[in-house]
Structure 1
Amino acid sequence: MVENQIPVSPAIKLSGMRWVMVGMAFLATVLNYVHRLSFNYLSAEGELRKLIPDDAFGYIGTAFFAAYMISNAFSGFVIDRLGTRVGYSLCMAFWTTAGLIHAFAATPLQFGICRFMLGIGEAGNWPAAIRLTTEWFPPHERSTASGIFNSGSALGAVVVPPLVALLGVNYGWQATFVILALCGYLWLAAFWFIYYTPKENREAEKVTFKVPVTALLKTRFVRMFTLSKTFMDPVWYFVTFWIGRYLVDVHHLEMKQIGWLAMIPFIIADVGNIAGGYFTQYIIKRGMPIPRARKVAVTIASLIMILPLLAGPFVITTPISALIVFGLAGFGYTAYTANTLTFPADVVPKNSAASVWGMACVGTGLGGAVFQSISGIVLKNNAAEMGYHYAYNILFLGFGLVALVGLLIMLFFMGPLTPDKSLLRYTEGARS
């Protein structure tokens, strides 16, 4: 039986260094998304588009998310065992190297293998960043800290289109992957030099207690949170993975145009990361209990994500209106994520947070793998006869309904965001 070594949570002493540390997690998340999305834009047109049709692109996306699912099953535990410094560094080294070898791929199968390896490494970013925030931030600041580091996902998505357009057009797609990998290795060197665990956490780790994985899996929170993410998170991957092809297929834009226009939804989404965290912090300061505040914020954010998708087929008439729909969906998702990143630390012992997030993200990988393949099949089977506009409308409606299912699971089946009573005996045992 695998077990998780959990220290008793100490009182966190506030230090200005906590903003430097969450800044490093923010930069890592930017690089995570730059590596993740660069292939999607490079393959939207030109040489790679001819090599990789819609169904193959969907299957390659499935390879990434299958690996993401597998990795999330153990990455949180690995990071909890190794610690933030070693665990985060290991993840960055693995996914950066996986990104580098994209430059040497030449067939859909080879790209699928590269994407699989990338998914293995990239899954560790969020458990590592969550552990970092729980080490450096008190509970009332964690939604803000989570919003800051997670905004790197949207900023990475903002940076990728113009960056890929610039590098790809001028230097080719192979050189683009090499240059992006060099950026990852630079972060790795800086993080290894800068990061340390706060003293009070090092002292706490001298007193450990064991929370079995089976005990975590038996909690309703872990099971239902995982299931909800299976339905919620694929919406973000529809936006980030398919927007480049959508703009080419439906609105007939070229890469140079996409490079600048595709930034718009992700600029809007980036605001959601910060707004989601600050809104929760605001209503907590106004007197709303933390568990209720988190769920209120998540509900509002989820509706901001869902409603534009359901309306998309009826309101999109131009590229700009499409970008607004994508942007609102992204804003809602990132505001939702800024709050859900704090869920594990609210329910389970502090140093189980990374492990539980990894478990929940198995749902992310499963949903991503299934719905990426479905997206490719829907486009292949409908675009030829009905046109791409009709085929993508199916996806807008489908992802809106799928996310609604995820929200209902979270609200009615996940349970309260308070310490799970079944795990209290482990913390009590550590204190005795």
Structure 2
Amino acid sequence: MIQSHSSPLETKHVSPHAGIGDKIRGAMAVGKTRWGMLALVFFATTLNYIDRAALGVMQPILADKMSWTAMDYANINFWFQVGYAVGFLLQGRFIDKVGVKRAFFLAVLLWSLATGAHGLATSAVGFMVCRFILGLTEAANYPACIKTARTWFPAGERALATGIFNAGTNVGAMLTPALLPLILSVWGWQGAFLSMAALGVVWLVFWSLKYYAPEDHPSVKASELEYIQHGAEPAQKGAPLSQILRMRGTWAFALAYAITAPVFWFYLYWLPPFLNQQYNLGISVSQMGIPLIIIWLTADFGSVGGGILSSWLIGRGVKPITSRLISMLIFACAIGCVVFAAHASGLWIAVLAISLGVGAHQAWTANIWSLVMDYTPKHMMSTVFGFGGMCAAIGGMFMTQIVGYVLTVTHNNYTVLFTIIPAMYFIALTWLFFMAPRKVPELG
């Protein structure tokens, strides 16, 4: 029988009444191996988003060379989302069946090859094919990262760990406009894609040598292993997909994530074209790069800060799932500031509004991912997350087409898009409040 999780702050290692500094020191004292595993998935996520964000930054160059229309660009992103949707479900099941180490290695190898193949494309159709394959393989990233966090971290650290690895999305999106102009000036756009593929190969070496499950790791301390596994459910065999789809928590996460995740893809794909159109920035580091770096740096603070907030509430005695919902309500309110972006009187006011919105989105994401980890049994974690990711990718497919259509009929007016974004979070939060289980279900 599976028991509900207890907070690691209730263990003998760390007192629930200790200050936040004492809790951090106490958690580190039991061992640091889990943070090394977290670093591996952080860098994988960074690479994932470098590969993904590069297209948006290079869009003005590629559109000029290949005569892309706004709808061509939307369709290229649409086919990425198609691959992403299919890949999420397949990759989640594959990870649960063969283990995160082997499955993630194969996925990163294939997405690095797909990234390099972009350099051979000569038309919009060629990019659609490459983006489909990239989406199919990159879909493994988050199920693998979530599985790693669920395996290596107890409930009280889970949101912080999630926020940290998810900060890799913003680091990747931030590094891309900072480094890409230099690479483009030296090697051109084909060389840029090949360089990104090479980074994936470097990561594969570290992953194959360093990653292990907690019970198999050659250097993990016994105290850290006990800390990680305190209150954990006993090992279970993989569950059939039909059983997972009958679980209320699967649908609680899947629909809420499908409503809100496409917003981040909107930012990733359309922020560079929006800023370039509104303020004629070009693709240089000083013009386009600095605003994007500020936006994604703020998102990093949101990602980690969102995890800290719910962990702090857990430390004050609030139940884990309740702490996630409270945190998400706060961040949903903060996201409302993006409505000011479309009609901002200047570049930096628009950057401020978007930065706050993106940061709050990442804080929300850290908590919805931690929420699903709190009530999902470990042996079906990647499948549940993969199914939710598939639903989110389908939502992203519709979002991409809607954005392309709205910008076409309104002659590139972003007002409607920025106005509807905040409402999406309150709809998702209402769904979660009524549908999310309050503990790990008891399974026979």
TM-score, length basis structure 2: 0.86
- How far apart, CA to CA, are the structure 2 residues paired with 1:407 and 1:51? 41
Q: Say if 1:332 and 1:55 are closer, same or farther in 2 by CA, change over 3 A.
A: same
> 1:186-227: per-residue Cα shift (whole Å, max 9, x none)?
001111011111227999999643422111111222113211
Q: Say if 1:201 and 1:411 are closer, same or farther in 2 by CA, change over 3 A.
A: farther
Query: What amino acid sits opposite 1:179 in the alignment?
Result: S
Query: What amino acid sits opposite 1:105 in the alignment?
Result: A
For 1:36, the equivalent position in structure 2 comes to 52
For 1:311, the equivalent position in structure 2 comes to 340
1:153 aligns with 2:158: no
The alignment partner of 2:281 has SS state of: coil
For 1:398, the equivalent position in structure 2 comes to 420
Q: Say if 1:331 and 1:52 are closer, same or farther in 2 by CA, change over 3 A.
A: same
1:368 aligns with 2:386: no
Contact 1:60 1:115 in 2 (8 A): yes
- How far apart, CA to CA, are the structure 2 residues paired with 1:113 and 1:210? 33
Contact 2:41 2:145 in 1 (8 A): yes
> 1:11-63: per-residue Cα shift (whole Å, max 9, x none)?
99953111111001000000000001101111134655653221111111111
Query: What amino acid sits opposite 1:312 in the alignment?
Result: A
Contact 2:66 2:122 in 1 (8 A): no
- How far apart, CA to CA, are the structure 2 residues paired with 1:28 and 1:100? 16
> 1:136-164: per-residue Cα shift (whole Å, max 9, x none)?
11121111111111110111111111112
Contact 1:76 1:357 in 2 (8 A): yes
Query: What amino acid sits opposite 1:83 in the alignment?
Result: G
Q: Say if 1:337 and 1:274 are closer, same or farther in 2 by CA, change over 3 A.
A: same
Contact 1:310 1:401 in 2 (8 A): no
Structure 1 residue ranges without an equivalent (≥5)? 1-5, 427-432
1:287 aligns with 2:303: no
Query: What amino acid sits opposite 2:95 in the alignment?
Result: I
- How far apart, CA to CA, are the structure 1 residues paired with 2:300 and 2:216? 33
Q: What is the CA distance between 1:274 and its match in structure 2?
A: 0.8
Query: What amino acid sits opposite 1:151 in the alignment?
Result: A
Which of 179, 184, 189 is the aligned partner of 1:173?
A: 189
For 1:58, the equivalent position in structure 2 comes to 74
Q: What is the CA distance between 1:174 and its match in structure 2?
A: 0.3
Contact 1:135 1:201 in 2 (8 A): no
Query: What amino acid sits opposite 1:161 in the alignment?
Result: P
> 1:336-382: per-residue Cα shift (whole Å, max 9, x none)?
11112222321121121111111111121011111111111111221
- How far apart, CA to CA, are the structure 2 residues paired with 1:171 and 1:209? 49
- How far apart, CA to CA, are the structure 1 residues paired with 2:106 and 2:279? 41
The correspondence of residues 105-254 of structure 1 with structure 2, limited to 5 A, is: 105-199=121-215, 208-254=236-282
- How far apart, CA to CA, are the structure 2 residues paired with 1:301 and 1:44? 33
1:71 aligns with 2:61: no
Which of 112, 117, 128 is the aligned partner of 1:96?
A: 112
Figure out how many residues of one structure are paired with residues of the other and give that number: 408
Q: What is the CA distance between 1:330 and its match in structure 2?
A: 0.9
Contact 1:235 1:403 in 2 (8 A): no
- How far apart, CA to CA, are the structure 1 residues paired with 2:277 and 2:75? 19
Contact 2:334 2:360 in 1 (8 A): yes
Q: What is the CA distance between 1:310 and its match in structure 2?
A: 2.8
- How far apart, CA to CA, are the structure 2 residues paired with 1:343 and 1:49? 45
Contact 2:340 2:350 in 1 (8 A): no
> 1:109-150: per-residue Cα shift (whole Å, max 9, x none)?
110110011101111111111111122111211111111111
1:258 aligns with 2:291: no
Contact 2:256 2:431 in 1 (8 A): yes
- How far apart, CA to CA, are the structure 2 residues paired with 1:120 and 1:65? 8
For 1:429, the equivalent position in structure 2 comes to none
Q: Say if 1:233 and 1:216 are closer, same or farther in 2 by CA, change over 3 A.
A: same
- How far apart, CA to CA, are the structure 1 residues paired with 2:70 and 2:319? 47
- How far apart, CA to CA, are the structure 1 residues paired with 2:443 and 2:432? 26
Q: Compare 174-183 and 80-89 and name the one that shifted more.
A: 80-89
1:410 aligns with 2:432: yes
For 1:430, the equivalent position in structure 2 comes to none
The alignment partner of 1:267 has SS state of: helix
Contact 1:131 1:351 in 2 (8 A): no
Contact 2:86 2:136 in 1 (8 A): yes
- How far apart, CA to CA, are the structure 2 residues paired with 1:380 and 1:358? 33
Q: What is the CA distance between 1:299 and its match in structure 2?
A: 1.5
Q: What is the CA distance between 1:290 and its match in structure 2?
A: 1.2
Query: What amino acid sits opposite 2:361 in the alignment?
Result: Y
- How far apart, CA to CA, are the structure 2 residues paired with 1:47 and 1:298? 38
1:354 aligns with 2:382: yes
- How far apart, CA to CA, are the structure 2 residues paired with 1:99 and 1:181? 6
> 1:80-135: per-residue Cα shift (whole Å, max 9, x none)?
11112111111111111111100000110110110011101111111111111122
Q: What is the CA distance between 1:302 and its match in structure 2?
A: 2.2
